[in-house]
Chains A and B, each alone.
Chain A
């Protein structure tokens, strides 16, 4: 007779994902980031939900309801700081997760669907994060609202109509923030739904592994081996998150709401909302209105082409010295793009931004196909020379 956990309609679901699920033995710690992202999403949705219970997106109330959360609501400060810092951690994990997928070739056949859903999740998360700033009403939200409006106005033909709609025809009681808030509230639920699809798509073939060969040779149960392995990173994650939330809550964010209180002692933040900077740099490196938007979204969409652009016969970069070298070049180029994003538009940086953008795109369009084909030839030569 089968045990209850395998027969019960719902528990069997948990069983197939978290208990009996067979995982390759060789998966490394980078494979823990996925579970961390799940945790991030749960933290963000829960804290966001509690924030929304004490927030109103009305223009006259948006600013002071944040004040209300910080002062009147029990542990409101904790919820808000969790939400604000959680966003940074979410994106950290997201970038690591994508980096891991590129490095280990997780996007390749037969997991293309997982990758496609993942890229959609990435884009949706960026949209959610950006809309989040527009909710807490300050300088930042004004800037965000302006950029979003400009973004829509760049769309040919229908752009102006969308702008009109977004601003409710520019009437006095304009509903823009309310719309941004509603979207910021709803997108995470869509995100959660997409995550479920991501997981289902993943479970048709299971996780890939660092070796790039089939994992079917050697698998062990998720529980207890990977449940406890995941817990290690979960604890480290929570530890670091708590360090920020309790000891330096404004380092990663923008404490707009301190302005009226005490303008002299606004805590310094490293680089607020650093996670958009690479794409912001790409946006800025194209001096055309529509062109910039296309470049920025192209930088995201191009990820979808990765399964086609990678011509290699083998999955993953673990045994490919050349690919590995260029992968890290790409990573540091991306970080440099992020750095350029928060600099003045001044002489060498303009050109540097353009070069970095070109490097970003050429990594996908030129380097990956070329190097992977070249390495295929090397593999063949190596085989025949034996």
Chain B
């Protein structure tokens, strides 16, 4: 290689690596962290974030299950289990087609809450019954006062 060409390439490599370095710096300093972004959001969107937090975790769990299964299988890589490819002609974007249906998830959550409440109530009932029983047991039929 000629000297001139060598210099050009040395310069090129210097500048391209500094461009990549700039990318790293921008990624580190120009992107907000989650707290800052939350602060920046309007209250409505922020509420959505709070509401959807558990749903997202649940989705991620489901996704992980699917990914584990598909990655371990011998199927071609485009077979993604229950997740439909967006190129599939039947692919539809509705609330029902997402990984975890929001409605179902909320229903499930609500029913769980209800169940918990019922269980609590039942618990209380049995507790009171128990106390009553205990009272009955300790108290004999004969009373002085």
- Residues on A lying within 8 angstroms of B by beta carbon are 49, 52-56, 58-61, 63-65, 67-68, 71-72, 138-140, 142-143, 145-147, 149-154, 160, 163, 167, 170, 172, 174, 182, 185-186, 188-190, 192-194, 196-197, 200, 204, 254-256, 258-260, 263, 266, 271-273, 277, 280, 283-284, 286-289, 292-293, 341-344
Contacts and interface: CB of A to CB of B under 8 A. Distances in A.
Given A142-B99, A147-B78, A182-B27, A280 B70 contact: no
A193 B17 contact: yes
A170 B68 contact: yes
Given A59-B56, A283-B77, A341-B87, 15 more contacts: A52-B26, A59-B57, A64-B52, A65-B41, A140-B86, A143-B86, A163-B71, A185-B23, A193-B20, A196-B19, A200-B12, A204-B5, A283-B76, A292-B77, A343-B89
Contacts of A59: 56-57, 60
B75 A289 contact: yes
Interface string B10-46: 0010011101101110110011111001101110110
A167 B83 contact: no
Most buried by A among B33, B68, B87, B95: B87
B88 interface: yes
The 9 residue pairs across chains A and B that have the minimum distance between CB atoms: A189-B23, A193-B16, A150-B77, A153-B71, A342-B87, A146-B80, A263-B94, A56-B37, A72-B42
Given A142-B99, A143-B85, A146-B66, A64 B19 contact: no
Interface in B89-110: 89-90, 93-95, 97-99, 102
Contacts of A140: 86
